[in-house]
Structure 1
Amino acid sequence: MTDYMEYSDDHRFIPVTSLTSGVGQAVTPDIYCFPIQVVNVVFVGKPKEDNWMLIDAGMPRSADDIISEVVRRFGEDRSPEGIILTHGHFDHVGAIVDLVEHWDVPVYAHQSELPFLTGEKSYPEPDPTVEGGMVAKMSPYFPNEPINLGDHVQALPSDGSVPHLGEWKWIHTPGHSPGHVSFFREQDGSLIVGDAFVTVKQESLFKVMVQDQEISGPPRYLTTDWQAARDSVRKLEALKPNVAVAGHGIPMSGEELSTQLQQLAEHFDQLAIPDYGRYVDGQNQEH
């Protein structure tokens, strides 16, 4: 292992954004959702307490925006205890190298995600042929090659605990990526989803721009295992969360969340799995 870190060879700024970009929202007293262009990063920890964690690392070239928001939320010199990744797709690790260099903190991810974070393995290429809207057509421009975090990244504890967040558990929710994880706090039913499901139709450029709120399956152009994705949604719905912060879209809570998530879990094949695409392979049949 090495202390050396680098972004992927295809690391680049992606010129898409939304009306909510840069407008943070306190979802609970200790969960803060901060949209970066079209993806959310999450701060977990109360502003006046010592310890907090960052979940995900935004779009490429967003480090300055994230650091500035951290200063507004927590004050100067309040680095996180660490950074936890729901997965390693480009829009969730876009600023990770800069943030680790700035704060000198460890990164945690699922064991199955480590090859994509240590320069060993590229993700499958995005699918521009998948059923969906304009964002899918744009997806060949999205980076898919691995970043290299060297020995700065380590596997999440195998017992499901979350470093520095004692009340939380991580849940393996593959499908969108092999080592995708979500985070749940049973005490108040808080769920940090990543991209296991999202709260905007991520394939539609217009809906992404205006952040039209609706629970949807994982982004189609980067989801490669639809059977696992179905199982992950059903696993999360069974938790009966009270509030959910997804990787894309506005946080949801209450009856709207429970009703829409139940619908997605029960009718995943019809609502989420595309009719055609490189990674569908007939998986849109009810199991």
Structure 2
Amino acid sequence: MKNIAPDVYQIPLFPRNAINCYVVEDILIDAGIRSSGNIILNSIQNKTITKHVLTHAHADHQGSSKTICDTLQIPLWCSALEKETAENGNVIFGYPNPNHLISKFQKKCWAGKGHPVSHTLKEGDHIAGFTVIETPGHSHGHLSFFREKDGTLIVGDVMTNMNLLTTSVGLHEPPQLFTTNQELNRKSIKKLALLKPKILCFGHGPVLFNNGELEKFITKF
């Protein structure tokens, strides 16, 4: 577990930061794939976690949510538009091509079982010092989380900081194969850029201490 900013910790779940989850104060954000449960539980054994929150309910973010919530006896929160998927485990529901080989692999090998959602989050809500930002596009109800006082942003999958095929570091849009609406996601990228974040924490790729990289990236749109 890596300390990124005050009360913000990254838990890398795959080599080269290919899949990450985060702890902010007493909240676990995202939970990797189905086999990530032990890594997460071992990483947080000295932390008191009271809630589990999803940026979105794809297989590489909700995979061990049920395991975490059941083991720690904590509630699961997400957006209203992700609630059904988080509860039924149909993680490829919003994919443009759910019958693609990779989509089927994710559902079979990465996705966890659904878990009841006890509370839904919306734009402007606050959790652990972060403001909830609605950032749809990659999924219907994707959420990001921003802390204004130091510019820390939990991005989720609105952007990645690596090429998911080569693992080379750099800002990218999420793959179209897993993105519900690419144009809407680009609007969410621009929305996040307007916040002028200083520290960006991604679902995929290393943390970015922004030195103009984001501003350069959005000029592509």
TM-score by length of 1: 0.69
Aligned residues: 215
Q: 8 Å contact 1:85–1:108 — kept in the other structure?
A: yes
User: Is structure 2 residue 30 aligned with structure 1 residue 66?
Assistant: no
Q: 1:123-134 residue pairs with structure 2 within 5 A?
A: 123-125=93-95, 127=97
> Separation in 2 of the partners of 1:105 and 1:88?
17
How far apart are the structure 2 equivalents of 1:146 and 1:118? 10
Q: Partners in 2 of 1:184 and 1:63 — Cα distance? A: 26
Q: Which residue of 2 aligns with 1:43?
A: 23
Structure 1 unaligned segments of length 5 or more: list them: 1-23, 46-51, 130-135, 269-287
User: Counterpart of 1:123 in structure 2: which amino acid?
Assistant: F
1:160 to 124, 133, 149: 124
In the TM superposition, 1:190-201 aligns within 5 A as 190-201=152-163
Classify the secondary structure of the residue corresponding to 1:117. Answer: helix
2:220 corresponds in structure 1 to 267
Q: Which secondary structure state, in structure 2, belongs to the residue aligned with residue 232 of structure 1?
A: helix
Does residue 170 in structure 1 map to residue 123 in structure 2? no
1:140 Cα deviation after fit: 3.9
Alpha-carbon distance in structure 2 between the residues aligned to 1:155 and 1:140 = 28
In structure 1, distance between residues paired with 2:206 and 2:112: 28
Listed one character per residue, the Cα deviations across residues 58-94 of structure 1 (whole Å, up to 9, x for unaligned) are 11121111110112xxx2xx43120110000000011
Deviation at 1:169, TM superposition (A): 0.3
**d(CA) in 2 for partners of 1:219 and 1:153?**
30
Please identify the structure whose Cα radius of gyration is greater: 1
Secondary structure of the corresponding residue to residue 196 of structure 1: coil
Q: Deviation digits for residues 140-183 of structure 1, max 9, x if unmatched?
A: 41118884313x43211x462234x1x21010001100000000
The structure whose residues are more often strand, as a share, is: 2
Determine the structure 2 residue equivalent to 1:92: 61
CA deviation string 1:204-261 (max 9, x = no partner): 1x32xxxx22011123320020111010000000111010001000000131xxx221
Partner Cα separation in structure 2 for residue 159 and residue 251 of structure 1: 24
* SS of residue matched to 1:42: strand
The 2-side partners of 1:142 and 1:187 are apart by 37
Quote the Cα distance in structure 1 between the aligned partners of 2:114 and 2:204.
24
Distance of aligned partners of 1:56 and 1:36 in 2 relative to their CA distance in 1, 3 Å threshold: same
Alpha-carbon distance change, 159 to 215 in structure 1, aligned in 2, over 3 angstroms: closer
Q: In structure 2, what residue type is equivalent to 1:27?
A: I
Distance 2:218 2:145 in 1: 18
Q: Percent identity?
A: 29
CA–CA separation in structure 2 for the residues paired with 1:69 and 1:88: 22
Q: Which moved more, 1:115-124 or 1:215-224?
A: 115-124
- Kept in 1, the 8 Å contact 2:51–2:75? The answer is yes
2:174 matched to 1:218?
yes
RMSD of equivalent CA atoms: 2.4
Q: For the structure 1 residues 120 and 103, does the alpha-carbon distance in structure 2 shift closer, same or farther, using more than 3 Å as the test?
A: closer
Over 3 Å counting, the alpha-carbon distance change for 1:120 and 1:194 in structure 2 is closer
Residue of structure 2 in register with 1:57 after alignment: 31
SS class of match (1:230): helix
The aligned amino acid for 1:69 is S
> Quick check: 1:190–1:242 contact (8 Å CA) kept in 2?
yes
- Alpha-carbon distance between aligned partners in 2 of 1:168 and 1:241, rounded to the nearest angstrom: 13
Partners of 1:247 and 1:120 in 2: CA distance? 19
**What code does the residue aligned with 1:222 have?**
F
